[in-house]
């Protein structure tokens, strides 16, 4: 049901334009110079154009995409620019061939759905949960989920290992994680 709602929302150009604006607002709000994001799958927001605009505004900025080294291992993030050659990696997802590891200060995470507590529903592979759990505390990135408003729910059943995101960005708003 959420996948269908996301696919329908993603097909609306106005939603994608608004989501790109909010993504850039989030980057401005946090003032970071390195960002990790994701290669889009069907129905996921394609952040490449917005990230390209962000990169072009300052030569010191860098972006990166995840690389799956092993299915049960945390993700690595490798440098990406709009001209970086790509290869098909695990799960038939594009990965940069740069080989240069980047430690992002802010990490955009795709969401199938999200709730009002900052938890996300992904595809169930656990890659982002595993990656964030293994991240050293001193370099842990700001986590920003990218979702469509149609995929917002009141609450998910979440497990002990699930980590709430710092912010969720949709085409309608920016939702910071509530303070407990």
Per-residue DSSP letter, 44: S
Check whether domain 2-114+121-176 has CATH 3.40.50.10420, yes or no = yes
Number of Cβ within a 10 Å radius of residue 117: 16
pTM across the whole model: 0.93
Residue numbers belonging to the annotated binding site for ATP: 120-128
Residue numbers belonging to the annotated binding site for substrate: 44
In tens, the pLDDT along 44-91 reads 999 999 999 999 999 999 999 999 988 788 999 999 999 999 999 888
Look at the block and give the residue holding tokens 């992904």.
122
Residue numbers belonging to the annotated binding site: 44, 120-128
The domain limits of the chain are 2-114+121-176
Q: CA dihedral in degrees (63, 125, 86, 3; nearest 10)?
A: -90
Q: Are 146 and 25 in contact (CB under 8 A)?
A: no
In tens, the pLDDT along 17-40 reads 999 999 999 999 999 999 999 999
């Amino acid at each position: 049901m959420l996948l269908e709602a996301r696919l329908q929302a993603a097909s609306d150009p106005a939603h994608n334009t608004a989501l790109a604006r909010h993504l850039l607002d989030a980057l401005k709000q946090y003032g970071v110079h390195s960002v990790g994001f994701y290669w889009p799958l069907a129905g996921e927001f394609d952040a490449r154009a917005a990230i390209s605009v962000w990169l072009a505004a300052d030569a010191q900025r860098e972006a990166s995409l995840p690389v799956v080294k092993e299915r049960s291992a945390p993700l690595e993030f490798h440098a990406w620019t709009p001209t970086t050659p790509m290869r098909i990696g695990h799960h038939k997802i594009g990965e940069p061939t740069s080989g240069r590891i980047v430690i992002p200060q802010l990490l955009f995470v795709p969401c199938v759905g999200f709730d009002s507590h900052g938890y996300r529903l992904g595809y169930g592979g656990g890659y982002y949960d595993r990656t964030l759990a293994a991240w050293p505390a001193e370099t842990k990135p700001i986590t920003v989920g990218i979702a469509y408003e149609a995929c917002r729910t009141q609450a998910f059943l979440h497990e002990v290992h699930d980590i709430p995101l710092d912010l969720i960005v949709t085409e309608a708003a920016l939702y910071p994680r509530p303070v407990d």
